[in-house]
C-alpha cells in the first residue's frame, strides 16, 4: 500500500504483530481504550508507548510506572515505541478543569472552550513526532471523552494526518451506543474465556420502550448506530468552536441548516410510514414535553447512567455552577425573537452596529452560523447561542441547577442526541427559522428551473428481487460489531455485539433523457424521494410537500448531442449522501484502513447506506421519485485545487474536505424555496427537465443473518 507523495505507509493492521507502525498511525493507538493509561499496551498489535522521562507521566502514575511497565517488559511481541521530547510542556490548565470522570458535552460553552484550547495545542505542534508526544502527554491528563474529541478534530485538520481514517466512535465508547449491560457482559466474557470468542452478544432491537409508546415505532431510526455515528462525525468535521482556520469552512452555516433539515425530512418520512404525524415544533418552552425518553444506554467511562426524561417534563432556567453555565429560558426566547426580526427585516446587525443584508445566496450561511451558533456568528451578544443552549436546557431538565450532581441526558451529546424524540422537536423549531428566511427569498422561475433542449422522458427504479419496476424493498439485517477497543481494563481479543438494523435491497435508477441540442452537454442529476400523501392520505400542497423530499443522490451526467435516449443508469450504492456500512464501522486495526492507494480517503462522515431508503409498509408505501437534470454551467464550482478530494463519498451532507461545496446552487435546490405563482402541487412544479414517478416501498418483515461472519 502506498500513500500520497510516494512514501510507504502501512495501515495499522496491515503489518504483523510486533511490526512497528508508522508515526501517524500511533495516534490511532491513543484512541484505543482511552480511559486506560498509555503505559499499557494498545491495540491487538500491542503498541507499548515509552515516555521520554518520568516527568512526562501524570503525577498519580509516577510511582506505579515501574511496576506497570515491568508487567510487559519480558514480552517480545510488543512493539515498543519511544516517545520523543516535546518542544515545550503544553499548558493543559484549561482542558484539565474538566474532571476525568465528568461528562464532556460539545453543547456546553465551557466544554467547547476547553476542547478548542486542546485542539489548538495539538494542531499547533510543528512536527508529527511532537504531535504524537503531546497527544500522549494529554492522554493521561485530560478527560477521556474530551481527549478523543480533541485528538479526532486535530487529526482531521492537520495536513500531515488528515488522511488517517479515525475509528468509529462506537468502538471507542460503546456505552454511548449500546444497551445497558452489554459492555459489562462483554468485559466479563473477556475475563472468563481464555481464547477470544466469536460468539456475539445479542443486543435486542427493542430495548428502550414497548408498543404502548407510539413514538417507539420509529425507534429503529432514532437509535440506529450508523445514523448516530454520522451525526457525531458531522459535528467533528464541522466544529463550531476554536480557531477560525478550523471552523471557517465553505458554506458551513448553510450545511448545518441543510444536513439537519434533511434529517428532519427523513424522520418525518419514517413517521408517515409508521402512521405517525409529522413532528411538531417545541415552540413554547414552558409547555410540558410530552415525549419521554428512557435511553437505557450503557454506563459511561465516568460510571454514570444516562438520565431519562419522564413524559410531561418542564424545562427550567439553567444555573449549573459545575459547568460554569447560567441562562434563562427567556434568553432562548429573546434570541429566537431577535433572529426572527433579522429575517423579517432582511438583515442582521454585526457587533459594530452595521446592518448586513441576508442576501439570496449567502444569507442562509450567515443565519446558520448565528442560529447554531458557531464562533463565526456575526454577533453572539445579540443573537446568542440558541440551538446549542436549547440542547443543553433539554439535556438538564432533570437537574437544571446541579443540586443532584447529575450530568446531562442524551440530548447533551451529538453521538446520542438523535436517539431522543425531543431532538426532532427542537430541530423542527430550529429548521422553522431557516424556512422563515427561505420564504422571504425570490421564487425559482421556470427560466431558472428549466434546461432548454433537455427533457427527462422517463425515470424508474429497478430493485433486486422485485419483479416490477418502481418498487423498493426493505428488511431487517443483523450485523456484528467489535467492542474490544472500547472495553477498558479487560484482556485482549475480539468481543462482538450483534445488532439489528434496517436494510434495503440494492437498486438502480434508470433515467432517460432527450438532448435536442446540437452539442453534447453536461447536467447535474438531482434525485429526491418523498411520501406521496400526507397523514390523511391526501395530496399535499407543494409548500409543505417540498419539506419532505429527501435527497437520494446527486451526480454529474453527460448528454450526447441530438439524442432521444440518453440512458443514465446509477446504482443506489453510489449515493452522494451515504457511506457503506463497512466504512461507518470499520475496525481500528482493519487492514483496510489508513491511507489508500488512490489518494482518496474516508472520514466516516456520511449517512449510513443501510438507512438510505425509509422503511415503507408491508403493503407498499406510496412515494414519489423526483428526478431533475439541471444545467451544469449554472451548478459548476471552480475549485482552487484539482487534487482529488478526500472523503468524497457523501458530499451532499458532508461537503468536500478543504474544498468548496461542489454545487453552486442553494443546498436543497430546487425544494429549498416556496413555489412560483400558480404552483399548488408538485405536478404543477415540473418543467420538462424534471420527471415524477410513483414508487412503492415494501417492508418485507424478514430478518437476515449477519453477512460479516
Ligand atoms: Cu446536530 Cu442539534 O445539531 O445536533
The alpha carbon of 73 and the centre of ligand 1 are apart by a number of angstroms equal to: 46
Residue 464 has pLDDT above 60, yes or no: yes
The alpha carbon of 220 and the centre of ligand 1 are apart by a number of angstroms equal to: 19
Work out the number of other CB atoms within 10 angstroms of the CB of residue 533: 16
Highest mean predicted confidence (pLDDT) among 30-34, 464-468, 648-652: 464-468
- Which of 420, 427, 605 most suits a substitution to test ligand 1, by most atoms within 8 Å of the C-beta? 427
| 407 vs 174, more confident | 407
Judged by average pLDDT, the poorest of 29-43, 164-178, 362-376, 566-580 is 164-178
The alpha carbon of 414 and the centre of ligand 1 are apart by a number of angstroms equal to: 6
- Which of 260, 279, 653 most suits a substitution to test ligand 1, by most atoms within 8 Å of the C-beta? 260
Name the residue with cell 443506489.
572
Q: How confident is the model at residue 131 (pLDDT cuts 50, 70, 90)?
A: very high
The alpha carbon of 374 and the centre of ligand 1 are apart by a number of angstroms equal to: 12
CA–CA separation, 456 and 628 (whole Å): 7
pLDDT for res 492: 65
Task: With CA atoms as reference, report the closest residue to 138 among 37, 21, 52, 239.
Answer: 37
Average the pLDDT over 67-87 and give the result: 83
Q: How confident is the model at residue 220 (pLDDT cuts 50, 70, 90)?
A: very high
Residue 90 has pLDDT above 70, yes or no: yes
- Which of 262, 417, 433 most suits a substitution to test ligand 1, by most atoms within 8 Å of the C-beta? 417
CA–CA separation, 66 and 39 (whole Å): 10
Q: Give how far Cα 347 sits from Cα of 362, 370, 373, Å.
A: 12, 12, 17
Average the pLDDT over 547-559 and give the result: 97
Residues in CB range of 358: below 8 A, 6 or more apart: 342, 343, 346, 347, 348, 364, 366, 367, 437, 440
Residue 563 has pLDDT above 60, yes or no: yes
User: All domains of the chain, ordered by start, with CATH?
Assistant: 8-162 (1.20.1370.10), 211-439 (1.10.1280.10), 446-485+498-700 (2.60.40.1520)
Q: Give how far Cα 41 sits from Cα of 421, 489, 492, Å.
A: 41, 11, 10
Which atom of ligand 1 is closest in space to residue 234's alpha carbon?
1
The alpha carbon of 542 and the centre of ligand 1 are apart by a number of angstroms equal to: 27
| 367 vs 58, more confident | 367
CA–CA separation, 102 and 374 (whole Å): 24
Cell numbers describing residue 158 = 492537520
Q: Are 475 and 702 in contact (CB under 8 A)?
A: yes
Average the pLDDT over 148-167 and give the result: 87
DSSP string, 217-262: GGHHHHT-HHHHHHHHHHHHHS-SSS-HHHH--TTHHHHHHHHHHH
Highest mean predicted confidence (pLDDT) among 61-70, 149-158, 241-250, 285-294: 285-294
Name the residue with cell 449522501.
577
Q: What is the dihedral of CA 397, 401, 405, 411, to 10 degrees?
A: 30
- Which of 414, 433, 654 most suits a substitution to test ligand 1, by most atoms within 8 Å of the C-beta? 414
Name the residue with cell 508508522.
22
- Three-state DSSP at 318 gives strand
pLDDT for res 174: 79
pLDDT for res 439: 97
Which atom of ligand 1 is closest in space to residue 414's alpha carbon?
4
Question: Sheet harboring 507-515: ordered strands across?
Answer: 454-463, 507-515, 563-571
CA–CA separation, 333 and 315 (whole Å): 13
Q: Is the pTM of this model over 0.75?
A: yes
Average the pLDDT over 588-607 and give the result: 51
Q: 44, 291, 372, 589: which one is catalytic?
A: 372
Which atom of ligand 1 is closest in space to residue 423's alpha carbon?
2
Task: With CA atoms as reference, report the closest residue to 32 among 489, 593, 592, 604.
Answer: 489
The alpha carbon of 145 and the centre of ligand 1 are apart by a number of angstroms equal to: 18
Q: What is the pLDDT of residues 664-679, one digit of tens each?
A: 999 999 999 999 999 9
CA–CA separation, 502 and 340 (whole Å): 38
| 201 vs 129, more confident | 129
Give a three-class secondary structure readout of 420-489: CHHHHHHHHHHHHHHHHHHHCCCCCCHHHHCCCCEEEEEEEEEECCCCCCCEEEEEEEEEEEECHHHCCC
Note if 505 is an active site residue. Answer: no
Residue 597 has pLDDT above 50, yes or no: no
Q: Are 508 and 569 in contact (CB under 8 A)?
A: yes
508: burial class by Cβ within 10 Å (0-12, 13-18, 19+)? middle
The percent of residues above 70 in pLDDT, for the chain, comes to 89
Which atom of ligand 1 is closest in space to residue 263's alpha carbon?
1
Residue 5 has pLDDT above 50, yes or no: no
CA–CA separation, 623 and 679 (whole Å): 20
420: burial class by Cβ within 10 Å (0-12, 13-18, 19+)? buried
Which atom of ligand 1 is closest in space to residue 390's alpha carbon?
2
The percent of residues above 90 in pLDDT, for the chain, comes to 65
The alpha carbon of 409 and the centre of ligand 1 are apart by a number of angstroms equal to: 14
Q: How confident is the model at residue 611 (pLDDT cuts 50, 70, 90)?
A: very high
29: burial class by Cβ within 10 Å (0-12, 13-18, 19+)? buried
Judged by average pLDDT, the poorest of 23-27, 310-314, 409-413, 483-487 is 483-487
Q: Are 10 and 25 in contact (CB under 8 A)?
A: yes
**Ligand 1, residues at Cβ distance < 6 Å:** 231, 235, 260, 387, 391, 414, 417, 427
The alpha carbon of 633 and the centre of ligand 1 are apart by a number of angstroms equal to: 33
The alpha carbon of 106 and the centre of ligand 1 are apart by a number of angstroms equal to: 10
The alpha carbon of 605 and the centre of ligand 1 are apart by a number of angstroms equal to: 14
The alpha carbon of 392 and the centre of ligand 1 are apart by a number of angstroms equal to: 11
Residue 298 has pLDDT above 80, yes or no: no
CA–CA separation, 676 and 674 (whole Å): 7
Which atom of ligand 1 is closest in space to residue 388's alpha carbon?
2
Which atom of ligand 1 is closest in space to residue 231's alpha carbon?
1
CA–CA separation, 495 and 109 (whole Å): 36
Which atom of ligand 1 is closest in space to residue 391's alpha carbon?
2
Residues in CB range of 426: below 8 A, 6 or more apart: 282, 387, 390, 391, 394, 411
Average the pLDDT over 374-397 and give the result: 97
Q: How confident is the model at residue 195 (pLDDT cuts 50, 70, 90)?
A: low
Ligand 1, atom 4, residue with closest C-alpha: 414
Residue 303 has pLDDT above 50, yes or no: yes
Which atom of ligand 1 is closest in space to residue 260's alpha carbon?
1
Residue 451 has pLDDT above 50, yes or no: yes
The alpha carbon of 421 and the centre of ligand 1 are apart by a number of angstroms equal to: 13
Highest mean predicted confidence (pLDDT) among 188-197, 429-438, 635-644: 429-438
CA–CA separation, 569 and 510 (whole Å): 5
Cell numbers describing residue 622 = 406510496
Average the pLDDT over 211-237 and give the result: 92
In the structure, how many helices (H) and strands (E) does the chain have?
23, 18
The alpha carbon of 418 and the centre of ligand 1 are apart by a number of angstroms equal to: 8
Q: What is the mean pLDDT of the chain?
A: 88
Residue 296 has pLDDT above 90, yes or no: no
Amino acid at each position: 500500500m502506498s500513500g500520497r507523495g510516494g512514501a510507504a505507509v502501512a495501515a495499522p493492521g496491515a503489518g504483523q504483530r510486533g511490526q512497528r507502525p508508522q508515526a501517524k498511525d500511533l495516534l490511532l493507538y491513543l484512541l484505543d481504550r482511552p480511559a486506560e493509561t498509555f503505559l499499557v499496551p494498545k491495540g491487538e498489535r500491542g503498541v507499548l508507548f515509552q515516555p521520554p522521562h518520568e516527568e512526562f507521566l501524570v503525577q498519580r502514575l509516577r510511582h506505579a510506572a515501574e511496576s506497570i511497565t515491568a508487567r510487559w517488559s519480558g514480552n517480545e511481541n510488543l512493539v515498543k515505541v519511544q516517545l520523543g521530547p516535546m518542544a515545550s510542556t503544553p499548558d493543559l490548565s484549561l482542558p484539565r478543569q474538566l474532571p476525568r470522570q465528568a461528562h464532556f458535552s460539545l453543547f456546553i460553552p465551557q466544554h467547547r472552550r476547553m476542547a478548542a484550547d486542546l485542539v489548538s495545542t495539538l494542531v499547533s505542534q510543528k512536527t508529527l513526532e511532537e504531535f504524537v508526544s503531546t497527544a500522549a502527554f494529554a492522554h493521561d491528563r485530560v478527560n477521556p471523552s474530551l481527549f478523543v474529541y480533541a485528538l479526532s478534530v486535530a487529526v482531521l485538520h492537520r495536513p500531515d494526518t488528515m488522511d488517517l481514517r479515525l475509528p468509529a466512535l462506537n468502538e471507542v465508547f460503546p456505552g454511548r451506543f449500546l444497551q445497558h449491560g452489554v459492555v459489562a457482559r462483554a468485559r466479563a466474557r473477556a475475563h472468563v474465556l481464555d481464547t477470544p470468542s466469536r460468539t456475539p452478544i445479542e443486543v435486542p432491537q427493542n430495548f428502550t420502550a414497548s408498543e404502548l409508546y407510539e413514538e417507539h415505532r420509529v425507534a429503529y431510526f432514532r437509535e440506529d448506530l450508523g445514523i448516530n455515528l454520522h451525526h457525531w462525525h458531522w459535528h467533528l468535521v464541522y466544529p463550531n468552536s476554536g480557531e477560525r482556520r478550523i471552523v471557517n469552512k465553505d458554506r458551513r452555516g448553510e450545511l448545518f441548516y441543510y444536513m439537519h433539515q434533511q434529517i428532519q425530512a427523513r424522520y418525518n418520512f419514517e413517521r408517515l410510514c409508521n402512521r405517525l404525524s409529522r413532528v411538531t415544533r417545541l415552540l413554547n418552552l414552558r409547555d410540558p414535553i410530552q415525549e419521554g425518553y428512557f435511553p437505557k444506554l450503557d454506563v459511561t467511562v465516568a460510571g454514570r447512567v444516562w438520565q431519562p426524561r419522564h413524559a410531561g417534563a418542564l424545562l427550567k432556567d439553567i444555573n449549573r455552577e459545575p459547568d460554569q453555565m447560567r441562562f434563562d429560558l427567556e434568553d432562548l426566547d429573546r434570541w429566537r425573537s431577535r433572529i426572527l426580526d433579522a429575517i423579517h427585516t432582511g438583515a442582521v446587525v454585526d457587533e459594530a452596529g452595521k446592518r448586513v443584508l441576508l442576501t439570496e445566496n449567502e444569507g442562509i450561511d450567515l443565519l446558520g452560523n448565528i442560529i447554531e451558533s458557531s464562533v463565526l456568528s456575526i454577533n453572539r451578544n445579540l443573537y446568542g447561542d440558541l440551538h446549542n443552549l436549547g440542547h443543553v436546557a433539554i439535556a438538564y431538565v432533570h437537574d437544571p441547577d446541579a443540586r443532584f450532581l447529575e450530568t446531562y441526558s442524551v440530548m447533551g451529546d451529538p453521538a446520542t442526541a438523535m436517539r431522543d424524540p425531543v431532538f426532532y422537536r427542537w430541530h423542527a423549531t430550529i429548521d422553522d427559522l431557516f424556512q422563515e428566511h427561505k420564504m422571504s427569498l425570490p421564487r425559482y422561475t421556470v427560466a431558472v428551473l428549466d434546461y432548454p433542449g433537455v427533457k427527462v422522458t422517463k425515470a424508474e427504479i429497478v430493485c433486486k428481487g422485485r419483479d416490477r419496476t418502481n418498487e423498493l424493498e426493505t428488511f431487517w439485517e443483523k450485523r456484528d460489531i467489535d467492542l474490544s477497543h472500547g472495553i477498558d481494563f479487560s484482556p485482549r481479543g475480539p468481543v462482538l455485539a450483534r445488532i439489528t438494523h434496517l436494510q434495503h435491497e440494492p437498486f438502480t435508477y434508470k433515467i432517460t433523457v432527450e438532448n435536442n441540442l446540437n452539442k453534447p452537454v453536461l447536467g447535474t442529476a438531482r434525485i429526491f424521494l418523498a411520501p406521496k400523501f400526507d397523514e390523511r392520505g391526501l395530496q399535499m400542497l407543494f409548500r409543505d410537500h417540498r419539506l419532505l423530499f429527501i435527497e437520494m443522490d446527486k451526480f454529474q451526467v453527460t448528454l450526447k448531442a441530438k439524442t432521444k435516449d440518453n440512458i443514465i443508469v446509477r446504482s443506489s450504492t453510489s449515493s452522494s449522501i451515504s457511506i457503506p456500512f463497512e466504512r461507518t464501522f470499520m475496525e481500528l486495526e482493519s487492514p483496510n484502513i489508513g491511507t489508500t492507494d488512490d489518494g482518496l480517503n474516508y472520514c466516516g462522515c456520511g449517512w449510513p447506506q443501510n438507512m438510505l431508503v425509509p422503511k415503507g409498509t408491508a403493503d407498499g408505501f406510496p412515494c414519489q421519485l423526483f428526478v431533475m437534470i439541471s444545467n451544469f454551467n449554472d451548478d459548476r464550482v471552480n475549485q482552487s485545487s484539482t487534487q482529488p478530494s478526500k472523503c468524497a463519498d457523501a458530499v451532499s451532507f458532508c461537503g468536500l474536505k478543504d474544498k468548496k461545496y461542489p454545487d453552486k446552487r442553494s443546498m436543497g435546490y430546487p425544494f429549498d424555496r416556496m413555489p412560483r405563482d400558480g404552483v399548488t402541487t408538485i405536478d404543477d412544479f415540473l418543467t420538462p427537465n424534471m420527471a415524477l414517478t410513483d414508487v412503492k416501498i415494501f417492508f418485507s418483515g424478514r430478518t437476515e443473518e449477519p453477512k460479516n461472519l
